[in-house]
Amino acid sequence: MQINSPINVQIACGTPTTGQEQAQASTTAAVQQSNALLAQVVDRLDRLEAVTTQGVRASGSSALRASLNR
């Protein structure tokens, strides 16, 4: 392998190329977005659990609907 161009030097040394860095940045952003969505899902499930375990017995269905529509 010829190591006379900057790209070949980067590949030979194992340093990421610009394309690899952009792909890694895109992947990182997607993972962060996915984590944020999962946190929202967990929060809603926690609220649903709280309403169904303690609120449904004491309150009407309107309280359940209000909680789910937040």
Phi then psi for residue 69, to 5 deg, are: -85, 5
Q: What is the pLDDT of residue 13?
A: 62
- What's the pLDDT at 60? 63
In this structure, is residue 45 part of a structural domain? yes
DSSP output for the chain: ----SHHHHHHHHTPPPHHHHHHHHHHHHHHHHHHHHHHHHHHHHHHHHHIIIIIHHHS-HHHHHHHHT-
Q: How far apart are CA 11 and CA 34, in angstroms?
A: 31
| Full-model pTM | 0.52
- Asked if the structure places residue 1 within a domain, the reply is no
Tens of pLDDT, residue by residue over 17-60, are 778 888 899 999 999 999 999 999 999 999 888 887 776 566 56
**Count of structural domains, the chain:** 1
Domain that holds residue 59: 6-68
- The answer as to whether 62 is a domain residue is yes
Which amino acid would we find at residue 38?
Answer: L
